[in-house]
Structure 1
Amino acid sequence: MSISTASLIPKNFPKIQHGDSIVQLGSCFSTNMSLWFRRAGFQVLDNPLGVVFHPIPLAKQILMALSKVERSSFVQKEDVFLSYDASSAIYSMDSKGLDELLNQQLRTLKNSLEKARILVITLGSAHGYRLKESGSIVANCHQQPQITFDKELIRAEEMFSEWKSALSVLKELNPTIQVVFTISPVRYVRDGLLENSQSKAELVRLVSLLQQESVHYFPSYELVNDVLRDYCYFEVDGVHPNEQATEFVWDFLKPTLFSEKTNELIEEIIKLRKMEEHRLLYPESKKAEDYRNQLKQKRESFLSQYPVVVW
């Protein structure tokens, strides 16, 4: 038996077109979906502070970018300096360098939010690690001693309070921005299967509360786990959705988020992308050189006709 996707189609969903700026924050599923947006010619800022799974640090990123809250303390791991507000992808070999890097990434986030048409937040897990020293939920533990944190299942009401503040200041910065929340279909089995279900339930409750704040919801979690619901759509670890699954989500997203005209343009872009990706049997040959020259001319002609497309 197959489950109809008709009931999952979001109502009054915002439409975007090429030239609109997109900001994506959240889990690794967000980063995977960013690849599809970029391939389709959109301008996307993806996770300037790295992949983060918990809703509270994600809300804090916006508040930090808009200078509404102070940053957490740095942590030193051997000779590497890291921030409790960012993933381990954001690091430096000294505190000054880390401070400069964070300031740079937060400026990038602020500038992008200021002009963005849409902000997509992918929520990963409601299990958080509370730093005993400050009481704040960290974005990443950076392999610090377990005694440093209290692990908690954060309730929807606490997460909602943080996001209500973040959405308020965001709307002051950019009154026309459209905010879309989605829940990552990634299973966090290291917490336990039951614990993963409890975590996702709190995220669903959070989204329900957030919809009072005029935000939108896109059903990534439901599409993968309730419609596809087969381990063949996951990587061998049985945890992360594979490319086939993300493509299914992308195909569902296209008529929801884009107009018919935009989707037609996307099809033209994908044809050119596939031509670029075509593997030439003899790349040094005259025939291969002619192919590359023809492709270059087609691409330049296309981009001159559609300058809003990001290549």
Structure 2
Amino acid sequence: MQFRTELFPTLSPHPISLDQGVMTLGSCFSDGMGQQLQQYKGRALVNPFGTVFNPLSAHALLTRSITYNTQDLHTGLVEREGLWFHYDFHSSFSHSQAEGLLAQLTEAIEQTHRFLEKTRVLLLTWGTAFVYERLDTGQPVSNCHKILQKQFTKRLLTVEEILQSFQQMQQLLQASFPAVKTVLTVSPVRHAKDTLVLNSVSKSTLRLAAHVAQEQMEHVSYFPAYELLLDDLRDYRFYGSDLLHPSPIAEAYIWEKFAAAFLDQEFNQFIKTWQQIQRDLAHRPFQPESQSHQRFLHQLLAKLQSLAEKVDVQTEIEFVKSQIKNS
């Protein structure tokens, strides 16, 4: 008897190898996926502008990075309680001086542009179809920075708006970096502040836009993170204590599905090897100076040194060396 419906994502026609760069951008789900890539020694740039929830803001930041445009950054500056923020960037970007903040933002854009030059995959996660727009300019913002809500209007984006913005960004991306493939996801995190009813409207808008984009562009694929949590796992056991975010078990399950569908065979094999090494590194013996443990450390060091040509394991090598006792 079957008690659940398991979802098997479509295998990517462009699987990611261990040495290929991956940039994640979007909602907090992008953080989790990017951190998993980094944990397994993948070359990943994770949410370089902080979390970005709505598609228009994500596309605008990518456009800035692709074209290396820092000319009009000052138009988004806002000051609150002695600190300067920018409407297009996460609140982790702040400074006591406007010039200092602009320097931070310019550096982030430059870093992202340089990474795009040598990356192969953009993992873009849309979080919500609701957007806040400034009353004074009509421009959408990525973050309101606790400015009074009366200075913004909130509305639901249309599928057409999202697609037009995405297509314009993709045209620039393909013209500048034609090797980059885009993987779209819709965040499975529910935005309860919009009410659960409107959250469904928002997510369905994003999902339809992602479907059309995938159908229209051969270099765009879709990873069903949203469906894996809501339809495959489909139980509150797989949510965190806030009942909105996926639990660690759910995150691990979604990651395993992503790895199976989007990482190549060599990368997946390396993940298994690295998981065992991580367990070895975490081992804490009762007798660290015993011959058996010292032999174990020498064997672990040899394993790490054999991987040094593929990935950066210098930190791990130095840690193991520090545990080996000179005879």
Amino acid at match of 2:289: K
- 257-266 vs 273-282, greater mean Cα deviation: 273-282
Match of 2:166 in 1: 163
1:219 maps to 2:224 = yes
**Paired residues for 1:124-163 under 5 Å:** 124-163=127-166
1:274 maps to 2:279 = yes
One of 72, 79, 82 as aligned partner of 2:82: 79
Q: Distance in 1 between matches of 2:222 and 2:313?
A: 26
Q: Distance in 2 between matches of 1:146 and 1:2?
A: 43
Match of 1:108 in 2: 111
Greater RCO, CA 8 A, separation 6+: 1
Instruction: Check 1:90–1:75 CA distance in 2 against 1; reply closer, same or farther (3 A cut).
Output: same
Is the CA contact 1:18–1:309 (under 8 Å) kept in the aligned structure 2? no
Match of 1:254 in 2: 259
Match of 2:45 in 1: 45
CA-based RMSD of the aligned residues comes to: 2.0
Is the CA contact 2:35–2:46 (under 8 Å) kept in the aligned structure 1? no
Is the CA contact 2:77–2:85 (under 8 Å) kept in the aligned structure 1? yes
Instruction: Check 1:279–1:150 CA distance in 2 against 1; reply closer, same or farther (3 A cut).
Output: farther
User: How far did residue 250 of structure 1 move?
Assistant: 1.2
Instruction: Check 1:281–1:156 CA distance in 2 against 1; reply closer, same or farther (3 A cut).
Output: farther
User: How far did residue 209 of structure 1 move?
Assistant: 2.7
Amino acid at match of 1:62: L
Q: Distance in 1 between matches of 2:311 and 2:246?
A: 34
1:95 maps to 2:98 = yes
Is the CA contact 1:118–1:180 (under 8 Å) kept in the aligned structure 2? yes
Match of 2:207 in 1: 204
Partner-residue secondary structure (3-state), 2:182: strand
Q: Distance in 2 between matches of 1:67 and 1:298?
A: 41
C-alpha offsets along residues 31-58 of structure 1, whole Å, 9 cap, x if unaligned? 0111211122101001111011110000
Is the CA contact 1:42–1:310 (under 8 Å) kept in the aligned structure 2? no
The structure with the larger Rg is 2
Instruction: Check 1:22–1:290 CA distance in 2 against 1; reply closer, same or farther (3 A cut).
Output: same
Amino acid at match of 1:51: T
**TM norm structure 1:** 0.92
Q: Distance in 1 between matches of 2:213 and 2:231?
A: 23
Partner-residue secondary structure (3-state), 2:122: strand
C-alpha offsets along residues 280-304 of structure 1, whole Å, 9 cap, x if unaligned? 446xx42466655553343123223
Match of 1:244 in 2: 249
Match of 1:191 in 2: 194
- 199-208 vs 259-268, greater mean Cα deviation: 259-268
Partner-residue secondary structure (3-state), 2:79: strand
Is the CA contact 2:12–2:262 (under 8 Å) kept in the aligned structure 1? no
Partner-residue secondary structure (3-state), 2:141: coil
Is the CA contact 1:19–1:309 (under 8 Å) kept in the aligned structure 2? no
Match of 1:24 in 2: 24
Q: Distance in 2 between matches of 1:179 and 1:63?
A: 14
Q: Distance in 1 between matches of 2:285 and 2:91?
A: 38
Amino acid at match of 1:272: I
C-alpha offsets along residues 248-295 of structure 1, whole Å, 9 cap, x if unaligned? 11111122112323311221112112212234446xx42466655553
Partner-residue secondary structure (3-state), 2:16: coil
Match of 1:263 in 2: 268
1:295 maps to 2:300 = yes
Is the CA contact 2:186–2:206 (under 8 Å) kept in the aligned structure 1? yes
Is the CA contact 2:131–2:141 (under 8 Å) kept in the aligned structure 1? yes
Q: Distance in 1 between matches of 2:61 and 2:256?
A: 30
User: How far did residue 194 of structure 1 move?
Assistant: 0.3
Q: Distance in 2 between matches of 1:310 and 1:240?
A: 34
C-alpha offsets along residues 120-144 of structure 1, whole Å, 9 cap, x if unaligned? 0011001110111111110101000
User: How far did residue 223 of structure 1 move?
Assistant: 0.3
1:57 maps to 2:85 = no
Matched pairs, number: 306
Structure 2 stretches lacking a partner, 5+ long: 316-327
Q: Distance in 2 between matches of 1:173 and 1:233?
A: 41
Match of 1:5 in 2: 7
Instruction: Check 1:196–1:281 CA distance in 2 against 1; reply closer, same or farther (3 A cut).
Output: farther
**TM norm structure 2:** 0.88
After superposing on structure 2, the runs of 4+ consecutive aligned residues of structure 1 that deviate more than 4 Å are: 288-294, 307-311
